[in-house]
Structure 1
Amino acid sequence: MAELLEVERLSAGYGEAQVLFDIDLSLAEGRSLALLGRNGVGKTTLVNSIIGVTRRRGGRIVLAGRDLTTATPEQRAHAGIGWVPQERNIFKSLTVLENLTAVATPGAWTTERVFSMFPRLAERKANLGNQLSGGEQQMLAIGRALMLNPKLLLLDEPTEGLAPIIVEELLRALKRLVRDEGLSAIVIEQHARKILELTDEAIVLERGRIVLAAGSAELLADPSRLERHLGLAAA
């Protein structure tokens, strides 16, 4: 299976502060990766580095054979990286439909397909972004990223702060994306077990370095390996 994403010896941070140290990872086309670790270990910085909004101190980032190391965030989006940040960053003064169509690029993902995955958005397509609940805003953020028709989808804490019923709905949608649709994805998630049940592979970060890399099923079968690094977060 061809490698979609290749990160080689990546070191990066913000300003004078270095957060990541010599990160090596690869993700094959159609595979999904859980990005785990305690708060403040560099998970979001790694995702931010892939989309190009950190200060790179070394290393390379290649997507589908294209070197994106010096590319701008806009160029990386056009190359096929979709991003759902923890802050969601939807256009709150635009309607749901306008949010989706504003960033759309031609491809398999259309507004109708997004509405099929998230029926709540179809019901609220004329509502402004600031009229949606937190869970609906997260669905819109994911839908908007899909409208870019990405090769790789990056999600930063997609279930954070949401009601349990909404969390389950989002997890079902993510399972459909990575299992049924075969979309390559990297997902940051505090609740390890929830995301390991959906993903193919996992890495754990500590102090900006990868300290554990394994198959998701392997870690579910032997949770003690996660507990050494995550403690209660592995439950």
Structure 2
Amino acid sequence: MAELLNVENLSAGYGEAVVLHEVSLRLDEGQTLALLGRNGTGKTTFMNTLAGATRQHAGRITLGGQALNRLKPHERAAAGIGWVPQERNIFKSLTVHENLTAVARPGPWTPERAYQMFPRLAERQGNLGTQLSGGEQQMLAVARALVLNPRLLLLDEPLEGLAPIIVEELLRAIRAITRDEGLSAIIVEQHPQAILAISDVAVVLDHGTVVHRDSAQALSDQPGLLDQLLGVARR
């Protein structure tokens, strides 16, 4: 498989505060990477850095061979980054359909195709963002990233705080987007087993550095090691 993302010796943070320290990883076309770690280990900072929302102190990021280091967030979106941050950042004063058409770029993912992936959104096209439930807002945030027609989808804790039935719906959609459609993705999640099941590669961060990398299957098959890496105490 051809390499899509290459991160080399990345150090980044907020202002003068450095959160990530010499992080290196790569991802091939069509692969999904599960980015794991305890709270406060740098996972969100890494995603924000790929999207251009932090200060990069050192290192290099390339997407499909294109250097992203000096690009602004909107330029990274044009280069192929589709970002779904923890805050979702949908336009709450716009309707569902307006949220999608306002950012859509040419490509296979159209608003109509997004509605097929998320039927709940199709039913609520005319609803304002403020009229959606938390789960529907998350679906809209994912759909909005898809209609950018990205090469790499960044999902930062997409299941956080959602009802179990919505979690299952979103997991099915994410699996379809990555497995069936072949869209590359990096997923940060506090439910590791759920994400490892639909990922190819697993990387664990601790104190802003990579402390473990393996296939997702290999890490899923070692629950004791996974608990140790994530600081989970067994009773």
Alpha-carbon distance between aligned partners in 1 of 2:225 and 2:231, rounded to the nearest angstrom: 10
Cα pair distance change 1:54/1:229, threshold 3 Å: same
Alpha-carbon distance between aligned partners in 1 of 2:38 and 2:73, rounded to the nearest angstrom: 26
Q: Deviations over 1:119-154 (max 9, x none)?
A: 000000000010000000000000000000000000
Alpha-carbon distance between aligned partners in 2 of 1:232 and 1:93, rounded to the nearest angstrom: 41
SS at match of 1:232: coil
Alpha-carbon distance between aligned partners in 2 of 1:62 and 1:133, rounded to the nearest angstrom: 36
Alpha-carbon distance between aligned partners in 1 of 2:225 and 2:200, rounded to the nearest angstrom: 17
Superposition deviation, residue 215 in structure 1: 0.4
Dislocated runs of 4+, deviation >2 Å: 231-234
SS at match of 1:229: helix
Superposition deviation, residue 232 in structure 1: 3.0
Alpha-carbon distance between aligned partners in 1 of 2:233 and 2:131, rounded to the nearest angstrom: 33
Alpha-carbon distance between aligned partners in 2 of 1:214 and 1:175, rounded to the nearest angstrom: 20
Read off the aligned partner of 1:111 and give its amino acid letter: P
Read off the aligned partner of 2:43 and give its amino acid letter: K
Superposition deviation, residue 233 in structure 1: 8.7
Read off the aligned partner of 1:116 and give its amino acid letter: Q
Question: Superposed, which structure 2 residues align to 1:1-235 within 5 Å?
Answer: 1-232=1-232
Q: How big is the alpha-carbon RMSD for the aligned residues of Structure 1 and Structure 2?
A: 1.1
Of stretches 220-229 and 202-211 in structure 1, the one that deviates more from structure 2 is 220-229
Gaps of at least 5 residues in structure 2 are none
Q: Deviations over 1:3-43 (max 9, x none)?
A: 10000000001012110000000000000000000000000
Superposition deviation, residue 223 in structure 1: 1.6
Query: How many residue pairs align between the two structures?
Result: 234
Q: TM-score, normalised by structure 2?
A: 0.98
**Preserved contact between residue 129 and residue 137 of structure 1 (Cα < 8 Å):** yes
Alpha-carbon distance between aligned partners in 2 of 1:233 and 1:84, rounded to the nearest angstrom: 30
Cα pair distance change 1:233/1:163, threshold 3 Å: farther
Cα pair distance change 1:53/1:175, threshold 3 Å: same
Alpha-carbon distance between aligned partners in 2 of 1:214 and 1:87, rounded to the nearest angstrom: 29
Alpha-carbon distance between aligned partners in 1 of 2:122 and 2:71, rounded to the nearest angstrom: 35
Alpha-carbon distance between aligned partners in 1 of 2:26 and 2:230, rounded to the nearest angstrom: 22
Read off the aligned partner of 2:85 and give its amino acid letter: P
Read off the aligned partner of 1:206 and give its amino acid letter: D
Alpha-carbon distance between aligned partners in 2 of 1:74 and 1:22, rounded to the nearest angstrom: 25
Alpha-carbon distance between aligned partners in 2 of 1:124 and 1:108, rounded to the nearest angstrom: 22
Gaps of at least 5 residues in structure 1 are none
Superposition deviation, residue 231 in structure 1: 3.3
Alpha-carbon distance between aligned partners in 2 of 1:17 and 1:168, rounded to the nearest angstrom: 37
SS at match of 2:231: helix
Alpha-carbon distance between aligned partners in 2 of 1:211 and 1:198, rounded to the nearest angstrom: 21
Alpha-carbon distance between aligned partners in 2 of 1:45 and 1:25, rounded to the nearest angstrom: 15
SS at match of 1:60: strand
Read off the aligned partner of 2:72 and give its amino acid letter: T
